[in-house]
């Protein structure tokens, strides 16, 4: 079977998964308290509550409610966010961009650094670089993120004043247009070096905090699978051909070591999203994570639903991407399915 056929097959399953996810998301909010809780106050009479419920169709049969909601989602209507005091869709884009920018920065750092460090350590097994890397990966994955965030904050913001918190300097932010909502991209599009620098400067601390644990996990996985691959016969066979060690490592061992590492990278994406909540709160990053935390505390169900639905779709997409890369790296997957 060709990779293309495999891809088409995987894409065809996607809509079915999406419908399943939407049903689960809808059901979840019906288990966790009243959807209109955020609009109710103690002074309301039962009649007023009843009227509110009628207005939002909460007394209709559940399937009717589901289709009403799902129809809205398809039309781009995700309801009203009580926390943001605006329609969810209106606020969502900006916050999504903020979170994506942070998660992407952290993810890019984690993947490149993790693979590089893991390869470096694995190729120097049981020598000093390997031991140092192990110290890094063990401490990196066991340090609580909120603690690490606060330490960085105290040292680099409060004490040294090297890096700022928040997402941007308001004056610089206002000076450029924001077509994508990704500050780094916008500043480059505007051709403003000052804005780009500002964007990067604000990203450093939260991205390091968010990416640390993931870097550590990817490093460890890459290291151990590379060590394993280096013991395989085909590596010696590659050496026996006269290939220099550089090619033996890159083209042969590392390529195969990436296969199990890809799985970890795919999973770590969820880890990153999860981490954004704490990181965004501590660094005052105006993203989805902080918004979600507020929404949960105040029972803002429209926001929670939008968040869960969105992250689920994101997950499915990332998983698909990982599977495709996986199939590309390991041809046996394609044949076996």
Whether residue 213 contacts residue 145, with contact meaning beta carbons closer than 8 Å, is answered with yes
- Single out the residue of 211, 182, 217 nearest to residue 106, CA to CA: 211
Other residues' Cβ atoms within 10 Å of the Cβ of residue 296 = 16
242 lies in the binding site for another protein (CB under 8 A): yes
**Which of 62, 138, 237, 321 is close enough to bind another protein by CB under 8 A?**
237
Segment near another protein (CB under 8 A); pick from 9-17, 40-48, 179-187, 238-246: 238-246
**Binding-site string for another protein from residue 253 to residue 292, where x marks contact by CB under 8 A and - marks none:** --xx--x---------------------------------
243 lies in the binding site for another protein (CB under 8 A): yes
**Which of 252, 269, 290, 308 is close enough to bind another protein by CB under 8 A?**
252
* 193 or 234: CB nearest another protein: 234
Two tokens, residue 294:
């507020």
* 313 or 333: CB nearest another protein: 333
* 93 or 251: CB nearest another protein: 251
131 lies in the binding site for another protein (CB under 8 A): no
Which position has the token pair 């590659």? Answer: 238
Residue 81 β-bridge partners? 86
232 lies in the binding site for another protein (CB under 8 A): yes
User: How would you class 141 by CB atoms within 10 Å of its CB: exposed for 0-12, middle for 13-18, buried for 19 or more?
Assistant: middle
225 lies in the binding site for another protein (CB under 8 A): no
| Size, binding site for another protein by CB under 8 A | 23
325 lies in the binding site for another protein (CB under 8 A): no
CA distances to 104, 180, 308 from 186, rounded to whole Å, are 15, 6, 27
**Which of 204, 239, 267, 315 is close enough to bind another protein by CB under 8 A?**
239
Whether residue 6 contacts residue 54, with contact meaning beta carbons closer than 8 Å, is answered with no
Q: In Å, how far from its chain's centre is CA 173?
A: 24
* 223 or 252: CB nearest another protein: 252
CA distance 26 to 78: 12
Which position has the token pair 């590392």? Answer: 254
238 lies in the binding site for another protein (CB under 8 A): yes
User: How would you class 202 by CB atoms within 10 Å of its CB: exposed for 0-12, middle for 13-18, buried for 19 or more?
Assistant: buried
* 205 or 327: CB nearest another protein: 327
Give the footprint of another protein on this chain (CB under 8 A): 232-234, 236-244, 247, 251-252, 255-256, 259, 329-332, 335
């Amino acid at each position: 079977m060709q990779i293309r056929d495999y891809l088409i097959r995987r894409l065809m399953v996607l809509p079915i998964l999406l419908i399943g996810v939407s049903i689960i998301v809808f059901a979840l909010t019906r288990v966790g308290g009243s959807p209109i809780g955020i609009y109710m106050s103690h002074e309301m009479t039962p009649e007023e509550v009843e009227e509110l419920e009628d207005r939002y169709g909460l007394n209709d049969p559940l399937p009717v409610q589901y289709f009403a909601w799902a129809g809205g989602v398809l039309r781009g209507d995700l309801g009203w966010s009580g926390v943001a005091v605006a329609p969810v869709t209106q606020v969502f884009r900006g916050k999504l961009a903020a979170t994506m920018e942070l998660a992407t920065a952290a993810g890019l750092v984690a993947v490149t650094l993790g693979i590089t460090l893991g390869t470096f350590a694995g190729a120097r097994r049981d020598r000093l670089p390997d031991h140092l890397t192990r110290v890094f990966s063990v401490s990196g994955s066991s340090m609580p993120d909120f603690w690490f965030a606060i330490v960085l904050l105290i040292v680099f913001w409060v004490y040294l004043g090297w890096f700022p918190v928040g997402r941007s300097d308001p004056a610089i932010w206002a000076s450029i247009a924001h077509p994508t909502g990704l500050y780094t991209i916008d500043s480059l599009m505007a051709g403003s070096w000052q804005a780009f620098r500002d964007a990067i400067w604000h990203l450093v601390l939260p991205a390091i905090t968010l990416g640390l644990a993931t870097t550590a996990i990817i490093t460890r996985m890459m290291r151990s699978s590379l060590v394993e691959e280096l013991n395989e016969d085909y590596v010696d066979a590659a050496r026996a051909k006269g290939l220099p060690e550089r090619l033996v490592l890159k083209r042969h061992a590392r390529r195969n070591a990436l296969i199990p590492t890809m799985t970890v990278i795919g999973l770590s994406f969820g880890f990153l999203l999860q981490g954004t909540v704490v990181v965004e709160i501590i660094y005052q990053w105006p993203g989805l994570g902080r918004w979600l935390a507020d929404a949960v505390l105040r029972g803002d169900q429209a926001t929670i639903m939008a968040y869960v639905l969105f992250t689920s779709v994101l997950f499915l997409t990332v998983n698909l991407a990982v599977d495709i890369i996986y199939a590309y790296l390991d041809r046996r997957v394609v044949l076996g399915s």
